[in-house]
Amino acid sequence: PRPIFLTRHGESMDNVRGRIGGDTVLSDVGELYAKKLGNFVVKRLKSERAASIWTSTLQRTILTASSIVGFPKIQWRALDEINAGVCDGMTYEEIKKNMPEEYEARKKDKLRYRYPRGESYLDVIQRLEPVIIELERQRAPVVVISHQAVLRALYSYFSDRPLNEIPHIEMPLHTIIEIQMGVTGVQEKRYKLMD
Ligand code: G3H
């Protein structure tokens, strides 16, 4: 059976500042994760000639993949982070203060809440369909480097979680989740590469 590896990008400058969305580069800590991920993947997949690395189109995932050499890389728009629309670039505190109705509406129904001129989790789940079809078709390992909301949705698909839980699943930074689909079901392993 061939594994799928899921990971968020390394810590970005916006992660440090607590801003959502954006397209910033990695922090020093994020860059260190990119190196460790590179070592991990190159070691684990060195005999897997057909393995591939999938990222979003945002810098922070492309930079996180930069130390993984020797494998084809594919950028998917469908792997981009949830579009926060008018809230892109804001902190949660700023949203709470300046757009309290939006903040409350999202808190009430995070799955269905759609950011003005942006997306909901349900929108993200829908746009992931072609990625999932392609992932299931692969014969070789795939490393998916994406974002918190997107990975919550992908992970839930493979681990068969109920829809309502998806927006609340813990998806830590600097951790690789390995998923193996076998005859007896799905097996999962986690590698925390940094403290
Ligand atoms: O920037 C977006 C976050 O990664 C998604 O987190 O859905 O918990 O606000 P959230």
Q: With contact defined as beta carbons under 8 Å apart, do 151 and 76 qualify?
A: no
Alpha carbon dihedral 45, 50, 56, 60, in 10-degree steps, equals: 30
Q: Which of 58, 65, 81 is nearest to 33 (CA)?
A: 65
What pTM value is reported for the model? 0.97
pLDDT score recorded for residue 181: 85
CA 29 to chain centre: 18
* ipTM metric: 0.91
Beta strands in 15-75 (DSSP E): 52-55, 73-75
- Quote the DSSP letter at residue 19: B
* Nearest alpha-carbon partner for 81 in 123, 113, 40: 123
- The residue annotated as part of the active site, out of 15, 19, 83, 119, is 15
Residues 158 and 38: their CA atoms lie apart, in Å, by: 24
* pLDDT by position in tens, the chain (length 195): 689 999 999 999 999 999 999 999 999 999 999 999 999 999 999 999 999 999 999 999 999 999 999 999 999 999 999 999 999 999 999 999 999 999 999 999 999 999 999 999 999 999 999 999 999 999 999 999 999 999 999 999 999 999 999 999 999 999 999 999 888 889 999 999 998
What is the CB-side half-sphere exposure of residue 127 using CA atoms within 13 A?
Answer: 17
Q: What is the pLDDT of residue 182?
A: 81
* Ligand 1 site-directed mutation target among 8, 17, 148, 169, most atoms within 8 Å of CB: 148
Compute the distance between CA of residue 78 and CA of residue 96 in angstroms, rounded to an integer. Answer: 28
State the pLDDT at residue 114: 98
> Can you read off the two tokens belonging to residue 24?
């910033």
Q: Which residues of 56-92 are buried (b: 16+ CB within 10 A; e: fewer)?
A: bebbbbbbbbebbeebeeeebebbbbbbbeebbebee
Q: Is residue 147 flagged as an active site residue?
A: yes
Whole-number Å distance, alpha carbon 149 to ligand 1 midpoint, is 6
Question: Are 147 and 15 in contact, with CB atoms under 8 Å apart?
Answer: no
Burial 107-121 (b: 16+ CB within 10 A, else e): eeeeeebbbeebbbb
Q: Distance from the CA of 154 to the center of ligand 1, in angstroms?
A: 14
Mutate to test the pocket of ligand 1, among 7, 11, 20, 111 (most ligand atoms within 8 A of CB): 20
Output b/e per residue, 34-50; b: 16+ Cβ within 10 A: bebbbebbeebbeeeee
